[in-house]
Copies of this chain bind each other. A is one copy, B any other.
Amino acid sequence: MSKTVTFEQFLTKDPLDNYGDIELYKSKYLPLIKKYNQRLEENILDEYKIDLPKPRDELIAEQFDAVDYLYKAKLLTEREFEITDSSATKIVSEIANGNWTCAEVFTAFAKRATIAHQFTNCAHELFTKEGLERAKELDEYYKANGKTVGPLHGLPISLKEFISLKGKVTHGGYAAFVENIAEDDSVTAKILKDAGAVYYIRTTQPLTLMQLDSENNYSGFTKNPFNLLLSSGGSSSGEGAVVSFGGSTLGVGSDIGGSIRSPAGFSGCHGFRPTTRRISNFGNVANYTGQESVSPVTGPLGRSVSDIELFMKTYINEGKPWNYDTWSIPMLWRDVPKPKADQLTIGVVRDDGFVRPSPPIRRGIDVVVSKLEAAGVKVVPFVQKNAKLAYETVHKMYTCDGNDESRSLIAKSGEPIPKLTKWSLNYGDGARVYTAAENRHLNTIRDDLREEYNKFFMDNKVDFILSPLYNNVAPHSGEVYNWSYTSIFNILDLPTLAFQTGLRQDPELDVWTEEDKKHVYRSDLEQLENENYKPDEFKGAPIALQLSGRRYFDEEVLASARLIIDDILKVDLFKH
C-alpha cells in the first residue's frame, strides 16, 4: 500500500517521482526560459553594475565574502552606504521629513541589489527603471501634497518571485508558467504598494518551493553573500541573499517548512515566520492549493527586529488584509513593550533528539545562553519528546495529495527535477495519495503535538523557546536535507524569528571534538548531515538561531527579540 522511499533507496537508486519529459522541455520551454533570462540580463543597468574581482566560479571556489568586499572595495559611495545601511524605520522617517528623496534612496538600493545579484544570483527579475519611475512619482506626490502615501513611502522592498505582480510574468519557479502573466497584484503586493513600497527586484526560489535551498531551471543556485561557496538557503533564497547583502530594506518571503527562516539565517539577516492567517498568501503562485494541515505563511526578512515590526504593523493595521482575503484574521498588531530581562523565561533546545547540531551551532547556543543568563534571563532546558513524530507527520502533510499538484505542474513542461526537489517529493509516502480520513488523522497528531508544546509553555511558565535554526550553518549548495529544526514550528504554527547571533563560523574554533567523534549516529539522516560539516568549508558563515513564542503571540516574540538581539547580544546588521 505505502510507497515509502527509504533514505537508502534515495541515495542509491534512480529516484522515483521523475515526471520529466526532456524532449518537451528542450523544444518548448528551455527557449522560453532563455528568453526570460535574457530580459533579466538586459535589465541590469550599466550604472548599477560592477566588474567582479575575478570570474564568479573562482570566487565561489575560494569561499569569497562578497559583503566584506563591498565595503573594502568601496563599491558604493559614502552617501549610498549611509542610505543602504540605514534601517527601514530611519529611511521612511527621513523621507517623511523631507530630508531624503525616494529617488536617491531608490538609486542606492538599486545599485546594491544589482551588485548582490551579480555575486549571489538572487534575482529572477530586475526592473530598476520602473522602480525609479515609481520612486519619482512618490517624490512628486510628496511635493504636491506635503505628505506621504503611507508608512512605507519610498521604501525599496524585494519580493519573492511567486508573489504576483500585475502584468508581469509570475512563474513561481515552474517552467510551465514561463509565460504566465499575472492578472492582478497579489494581496501582499497590493498592501505594501498602497503603503508606499517601491518594487524593483523579484527574487529566486527553488522548484516546488520545497527546498531549504534554491535550485530551479531558471537560475540554478543562489549563493550566500558571506561565503559564495555556500547556499543562501531557501525557499525564499533570493530574499535571504539580497536582504543580507543590504540590497533591499525589507524582503517578502514565505515559509511552510523553514523557507523564510533558513535563507534569512543562512545568508545573514533576520526572518520572521508569523503565525498563520496574519499575512495574506492570496495571489501567490504556488503548489499547495487547498492544503491546510500545515499552512504556508508569508512574512518579512530584514536587518533589524524593529524593521520587521514596521512591516508587520503597517501590513496588518494599515493594509487590513481581511478586506481582500477571508483567510486573514482581523487581529490588529498590538504595540508590546520590550520586556525586562529578569521577567523572561526561555526554554532552550540544544538537540532535537533527531539530528545533532554541528560545532558552530552549538557554540552559538552556548554564547547566547550565557549572555542571556548574564543579563538575568531565566533559561531552562527543553527536551523535545516528539521531534521525530512531528518531522514525519509534517512530511506526510506536505505530500499527502501524492504530490498531485506539484507533479502535474512539473509534468506540464517536462522540466528536469533538481535533486532537492526530488528529495522532498519523496517525503512522507511520496506519490501515494492519502485518503481524506488519513489526512484527518494527521491533523489529530498535529493537534496533540500542539497541546504538548502548549502545556510546556503553560506548565513551566516559559515565554519563548530558543533553538537551532538547522543542524548546521549555511550548507553547500544542493546539500541541505534535514528540516526538523524549522518545520517543527510550522506544524506547531508558532511565530518564530530566525535571528543573527552576530557570530560567524570559525574553522579554528568550530571543530568536532574527540568526544563528538564517538557519537553513535541516531539515523542515516544525522550521519549525512553531520558528515557534511567540515570546518574548513564553511568559513565565515553566519550563525543564526530561532526564537519562538506561543501561537498568535507574534508581537511578544518581536518585542523580546528587540531586547535579546539589540540589547543583550548587541547585534547590529547595519554595521560592518
**Segment 314-331 of A: residues with Cβ below 8 Å from B:** 322-327, 329-331
The complex places the Cα of A230 from the Cα of B327 at a distance, in Å, of 39
Contacts of A325 in B (CB 8 A): 451
Q: Is the pair B443, A292 in contact by a Cβ cutoff of 8 Å?
A: yes
**Segment 11-52 of A: residues with Cβ below 8 Å from B:** none
A303 CB, nearest partner CB in chain B, Å: 29
Contacts of A329 in B (CB 8 A): 329, 331, 552
Q: Is the pair A435, B437 in contact by a Cβ cutoff of 8 Å?
A: no
Complex partner residue of A450 from B326, B492, B553, CB under 8 angstroms: B326
Q: Is the pair B433, A433 in contact by a Cβ cutoff of 8 Å?
A: no
Contacts of A424 in B (CB 8 A): none
Interface segment among A153-161, A188-196, A399-407: the answer is A399-407
Complex partner residue of A437 from B401, B447, B454, B493, CB under 8 angstroms: B401
Complex partner residue of A400 from B330, B401, B404, B436, CB under 8 angstroms: B436
Contacts of A492 in B (CB 8 A): 326
Q: Is the pair A289, B438 in contact by a Cβ cutoff of 8 Å?
A: no
The complex places the Cα of A366 from the Cα of B451 at a distance, in Å, of 49
Q: Is the pair B551, A322 in contact by a Cβ cutoff of 8 Å?
A: yes
Q: Is the pair A330, B552 in contact by a Cβ cutoff of 8 Å?
A: yes
A291 within 8 A of B: yes
The complex places the Cα of A433 from the Cα of B331 at a distance, in Å, of 36
A445 CB, nearest partner CB in chain B, Å: 9
- Name which residue of chain B comes closest to A329, CB basis: B552
A60 CB, nearest partner CB in chain B, Å: 40
Q: Is the pair A440, B290 in contact by a Cβ cutoff of 8 Å?
A: yes
Q: Is the pair A444, B289 in contact by a Cβ cutoff of 8 Å?
A: yes
Q: Is the pair A289, B440 in contact by a Cβ cutoff of 8 Å?
A: yes
Q: Is the pair B433, A437 in contact by a Cβ cutoff of 8 Å?
A: yes
A217 within 8 A of B: no
**Segment 452-501 of A: residues with Cβ below 8 Å from B:** 453-454, 458, 492-493
Contacts of A322 in B (CB 8 A): 550-552
A441 within 8 A of B: yes
Q: Is the pair B436, A401 in contact by a Cβ cutoff of 8 Å?
A: yes
A118 within 8 A of B: no
User: How many copies of this chain?
Assistant: 2
A89 within 8 A of B: no
- Name which residue of chain B comes closest to A330, CB basis: B552
Contacts of A127 in B (CB 8 A): none
Complex partner residue of A405 from B437, B458, B493, CB under 8 angstroms: B437
A341 within 8 A of B: no
A434 within 8 A of B: yes
Complex partner residue of A435 from B327, B433, B440, B441, CB under 8 angstroms: B433
A442 within 8 A of B: yes
A86 within 8 A of B: no
A405 CB, nearest partner CB in chain B, Å: 7
Contacts of A458 in B (CB 8 A): 323-324
A443 CB, nearest partner CB in chain B, Å: 4
Q: Is the pair B331, A290 in contact by a Cβ cutoff of 8 Å?
A: no
A93 CB, nearest partner CB in chain B, Å: 31
A180 within 8 A of B: no
The complex places the Cα of A545 from the Cα of B458 at a distance, in Å, of 42
Complex partner residue of A331 from B331, B438, B440, CB under 8 angstroms: B331
The complex places the Cα of A438 from the Cα of B289 at a distance, in Å, of 11
**Segment 270-293 of A: residues with Cβ below 8 Å from B:** 289-293
Q: Is the pair B437, A402 in contact by a Cβ cutoff of 8 Å?
A: yes
Q: Is the pair A451, B289 in contact by a Cβ cutoff of 8 Å?
A: no
The complex places the Cα of A327 from the Cα of B443 at a distance, in Å, of 12
A439 within 8 A of B: yes
The complex places the Cα of A320 from the Cα of B441 at a distance, in Å, of 27
A188 CB, nearest partner CB in chain B, Å: 16
The complex places the Cα of A436 from the Cα of B453 at a distance, in Å, of 27
The complex places the Cα of A433 from the Cα of B433 at a distance, in Å, of 12
The complex places the Cα of A436 from the Cα of B553 at a distance, in Å, of 31
The complex places the Cα of A551 from the Cα of B327 at a distance, in Å, of 9
Contacts of A327 in B (CB 8 A): 447, 450
The complex places the Cα of A330 from the Cα of B434 at a distance, in Å, of 32
A104 CB, nearest partner CB in chain B, Å: 38
The complex places the Cα of A330 from the Cα of B550 at a distance, in Å, of 10
Contacts of A289 in B (CB 8 A): 440, 443-444
The complex places the Cα of A434 from the Cα of B553 at a distance, in Å, of 36
Contacts of A441 in B (CB 8 A): 290
Complex partner residue of A439 from B290, B326, B450, CB under 8 angstroms: B290
Q: Is the pair B326, A451 in contact by a Cβ cutoff of 8 Å?
A: yes
The complex places the Cα of A204 from the Cα of B150 at a distance, in Å, of 55
**Segment 284-310 of A: residues with Cβ below 8 Å from B:** 289-293
Interface string of A413-444 (1 = CB under 8 A from B): 00000000000000000000111111111111
Interface string of A308-352 (1 = CB under 8 A from B): 000000000000001111110111000000000000000000000
A190 CB, nearest partner CB in chain B, Å: 13
Q: List 18 A-B contacts (CB under 8 A).
A: A290-B441, A292-B292, A292-B440, A322-B550, A323-B454, A324-B458, A326-B492, A327-B450, A329-B552, A330-B551, A330-B552, A331-B331, A400-B436, A401-B436, A402-B435, A433-B435, A433-B437, A436-B438
Additional A-B contact list (5), CB under 8 Å, known A291-B443, A326-B450, A439-B439: A290-B443, A291-B440, A326-B453, A326-B551, A327-B450
- In the complex, the 6 A-B pairs of residues with the closest C-beta atoms, listed nearest first: A290-B440, A290-B443, A401-B437, A326-B450, A404-B437, A436-B439
